[in-house]
Amino acid sequence: MWVTKSKLILASASPRRRDLLTEIKVPFEVKVADVDETPLEHEDPSMMVKRLSAKKALSVKGSWVLGADTTVVLNGENLGKPESRDDAFNKLKALQGSWHIVLGGVALVHNGELVENTVIESSVKMVSISDEIIKRYIETKEPMDKAGAYAIQGIGSQFIEEIKGSYSNVVGLDISWVVKTLLKHQIIS
Protein backbone atom coordinates (compact mmCIF):
# COMPACT_ATOMS: atom_id res chain seq x y z
CA MET A 1 0.00 0.00 0.00
CA TRP A 2 2.71 2.50 0.97
CA VAL A 3 5.37 3.65 -1.44
CA THR A 4 8.78 4.27 0.06
CA LYS A 5 10.95 7.13 -1.06
CA SER A 6 13.86 5.80 0.98
CA LYS A 7 14.67 2.35 2.29
CA LEU A 8 13.47 1.78 5.85
CA ILE A 9 15.45 -0.55 8.10
CA LEU A 10 13.96 -2.09 11.22
CA ALA A 11 16.71 -2.53 13.82
CA SER A 12 14.98 -5.36 15.68
CA ALA A 13 14.96 -9.12 16.00
CA SER A 14 11.34 -9.03 17.18
CA PRO A 15 9.01 -11.05 14.96
CA ARG A 16 6.11 -9.06 16.42
CA ARG A 17 7.53 -5.76 15.17
CA ARG A 18 8.15 -7.31 11.75
CA ASP A 19 4.57 -8.60 11.67
CA LEU A 20 3.14 -5.18 12.57
CA LEU A 21 5.04 -3.41 9.77
CA THR A 22 4.19 -6.18 7.31
CA GLU A 23 0.47 -5.97 8.18
CA ILE A 24 0.31 -2.28 7.28
CA LYS A 25 2.27 -2.82 4.05
CA VAL A 26 5.24 -0.58 4.86
CA PRO A 27 8.25 -1.86 2.87
CA PHE A 28 11.26 -2.47 5.11
CA GLU A 29 14.20 -4.73 5.70
CA VAL A 30 15.52 -6.08 8.98
CA LYS A 31 19.00 -5.60 10.37
CA VAL A 32 19.21 -6.90 13.91
CA ALA A 33 20.68 -4.46 16.41
CA ASP A 34 23.27 -6.07 18.66
CA VAL A 35 23.13 -3.94 21.81
CA ASP A 36 23.31 -4.57 25.53
CA GLU A 37 19.75 -4.12 26.82
CA THR A 38 20.67 -4.19 30.50
CA PRO A 39 18.95 -1.37 32.39
CA LEU A 40 21.23 1.16 34.02
CA GLU A 41 21.25 1.23 37.81
CA HIS A 42 18.21 3.18 39.12
CA GLU A 43 17.13 3.94 35.53
CA ASP A 44 13.57 5.14 35.09
CA PRO A 45 11.71 2.63 32.83
CA SER A 46 10.54 5.39 30.49
CA MET A 47 14.08 6.69 30.05
CA MET A 48 15.31 3.11 29.56
CA VAL A 49 13.02 2.34 26.60
CA LYS A 50 13.79 5.73 25.06
CA ARG A 51 17.53 5.17 25.44
CA LEU A 52 17.44 1.58 24.16
CA SER A 53 15.27 2.38 21.13
CA ALA A 54 17.75 5.09 20.12
CA LYS A 55 20.74 2.85 20.84
CA LYS A 56 19.30 0.09 18.62
CA ALA A 57 18.54 2.47 15.75
CA LEU A 58 21.97 4.14 15.99
CA SER A 59 23.75 0.76 15.99
CA VAL A 60 22.56 -0.16 12.49
CA LYS A 61 23.84 1.46 9.31
CA GLY A 62 21.31 2.77 6.82
CA SER A 63 19.62 5.85 5.45
CA TRP A 64 16.50 5.54 7.65
CA VAL A 65 16.55 3.20 10.66
CA LEU A 66 13.71 2.48 13.08
CA GLY A 67 14.51 1.21 16.58
CA ALA A 68 12.12 0.13 19.33
CA ASP A 69 12.09 -1.19 22.87
CA THR A 70 9.22 -2.26 25.12
CA THR A 71 8.84 -2.87 28.83
CA VAL A 72 6.05 -3.51 31.29
CA VAL A 73 5.89 -1.43 34.46
CA LEU A 74 3.95 -2.26 37.61
CA ASN A 75 3.97 0.20 40.51
CA GLY A 76 7.06 1.90 39.08
CA GLU A 77 8.99 -1.37 38.73
CA ASN A 78 10.34 -2.46 35.35
CA LEU A 79 9.23 -6.08 34.84
CA GLY A 80 11.02 -6.76 31.53
CA LYS A 81 11.34 -10.26 30.07
CA PRO A 82 11.33 -13.24 32.45
CA GLU A 83 14.67 -14.89 33.17
CA SER A 84 13.13 -18.23 34.19
CA ARG A 85 9.80 -20.02 34.58
CA ASP A 86 9.71 -18.95 38.23
CA ASP A 87 10.34 -15.35 37.22
CA ALA A 88 7.54 -15.58 34.60
CA PHE A 89 5.20 -16.95 37.29
CA ASN A 90 6.07 -14.13 39.68
CA LYS A 91 5.57 -11.47 36.99
CA LEU A 92 2.19 -12.87 35.93
CA LYS A 93 1.11 -13.32 39.55
CA ALA A 94 1.93 -9.66 40.23
CA LEU A 95 0.10 -8.43 37.10
CA GLN A 96 -3.09 -10.45 37.47
CA GLY A 97 -6.13 -8.51 38.61
CA SER A 98 -4.51 -5.09 38.22
CA TRP A 99 -3.61 -2.28 35.85
CA HIS A 100 -0.05 -1.93 34.56
CA ILE A 101 1.76 0.28 32.07
CA VAL A 102 3.39 -0.79 28.81
CA LEU A 103 6.07 1.64 27.66
CA GLY A 104 7.25 1.57 24.07
CA GLY A 105 10.32 3.54 23.11
CA VAL A 106 10.65 4.33 19.40
CA ALA A 107 13.44 6.07 17.55
CA LEU A 108 14.08 7.10 13.98
CA VAL A 109 17.62 7.68 12.78
CA HIS A 110 18.63 9.29 9.47
CA ASN A 111 22.17 8.68 8.23
CA GLY A 112 23.46 8.07 11.74
CA GLU A 113 21.66 11.01 13.39
CA LEU A 114 18.75 10.66 15.80
CA VAL A 115 15.80 12.65 14.39
CA GLU A 116 12.88 11.27 16.45
CA ASN A 117 12.81 9.55 19.85
CA THR A 118 9.77 9.22 22.06
CA VAL A 119 7.94 6.97 24.50
CA ILE A 120 4.38 5.73 23.97
CA GLU A 121 2.42 4.70 27.06
CA SER A 122 -0.50 2.25 27.16
CA SER A 123 -2.38 1.02 30.22
CA VAL A 124 -3.46 -2.62 30.42
CA LYS A 125 -5.70 -4.40 32.92
CA MET A 126 -5.20 -8.12 33.37
CA VAL A 127 -7.97 -10.31 34.78
CA SER A 128 -7.46 -12.33 37.94
CA ILE A 129 -6.18 -15.81 37.09
CA SER A 130 -5.37 -18.77 39.29
CA ASP A 131 -1.89 -20.08 39.98
CA GLU A 132 -2.78 -23.24 38.02
CA ILE A 133 -3.74 -21.24 34.91
CA ILE A 134 -0.57 -19.15 35.21
CA LYS A 135 1.48 -22.38 35.33
CA ARG A 136 -0.35 -23.81 32.30
CA TYR A 137 0.22 -20.60 30.38
CA ILE A 138 3.94 -20.72 31.18
CA GLU A 139 4.01 -24.33 29.87
CA THR A 140 3.07 -22.95 26.41
CA LYS A 141 6.44 -21.10 26.50
CA GLU A 142 4.77 -17.99 25.06
CA PRO A 143 5.64 -15.80 28.07
CA MET A 144 9.36 -16.53 28.02
CA ASP A 145 10.56 -13.82 25.61
CA LYS A 146 7.94 -11.17 26.29
CA ALA A 147 8.11 -8.09 28.48
CA GLY A 148 5.81 -8.70 31.43
CA ALA A 149 5.68 -12.43 30.58
CA TYR A 150 2.62 -12.27 28.32
CA ALA A 151 1.74 -11.80 24.65
CA ILE A 152 -1.37 -9.70 24.08
CA GLN A 153 -1.46 -10.87 20.46
CA GLY A 154 -1.27 -14.54 21.40
CA ILE A 155 -2.62 -16.92 24.01
CA GLY A 156 -2.17 -14.19 26.61
CA SER A 157 -4.92 -12.11 24.97
CA GLN A 158 -7.53 -14.04 26.97
CA PHE A 159 -6.13 -12.57 30.19
CA ILE A 160 -6.52 -8.93 29.10
CA GLU A 161 -9.65 -7.21 30.33
CA GLU A 162 -9.08 -3.66 29.10
CA ILE A 163 -6.56 -1.43 27.30
CA LYS A 164 -6.23 2.33 27.36
CA GLY A 165 -3.98 3.59 24.59
CA SER A 166 -2.32 1.87 21.66
CA TYR A 167 -2.82 -1.88 21.23
CA SER A 168 0.10 -2.12 18.78
CA ASN A 169 2.33 -0.45 21.39
CA VAL A 170 1.50 -3.31 23.76
CA VAL A 171 2.42 -5.78 20.99
CA GLY A 172 5.77 -4.02 20.52
CA LEU A 173 5.55 -1.04 18.14
CA ASP A 174 3.09 1.85 18.04
CA ILE A 175 2.05 1.71 14.39
CA SER A 176 0.19 5.04 14.31
CA TRP A 177 3.33 6.83 15.55
CA VAL A 178 5.43 5.00 12.97
CA VAL A 179 3.14 5.93 10.04
CA LYS A 180 2.75 9.55 11.19
CA THR A 181 6.53 9.89 11.60
CA LEU A 182 7.39 8.20 8.29
CA LEU A 183 4.92 10.51 6.50
CA LYS A 184 6.36 13.56 8.31
CA HIS A 185 9.85 12.74 7.07
CA GLN A 186 8.54 11.78 3.61
CA ILE A 187 9.86 8.24 3.87
CA ILE A 188 6.50 6.85 2.72
CA SER A 189 3.67 8.28 0.68
pLDDT tens-digit map of 12-61: 999 999 999 999 999 999 999 999 998 889 999 999 999 999 999 999 99
- 84-87: which pairs have CB atoms within 8 A and are 24 or more residues apart? 85/138, 85/144, 87/149
- Distance of alpha carbon 43 from alpha carbon 85, whole angstroms: 25
Q: For the whole model, what pTM was predicted? A: 0.94
pLDDT tens-digit map of 65-94: 999 999 999 999 999 899 999 999 999 999
Amino acid identity at 83: E
69, 84, 81, 96: which is closest to 146 by C-alpha? 81
Strand partners, 164: 123
Q: Which domains does the chain have, with CATH numbers?
A: 8-184 (3.90.950.10)
Amino acid identity at 66: L
Q: What is the DSSP letter of 142?
A: G
The distance in angstroms from the start CA to the end CA of the chain is 9
Catalytic residues: 69
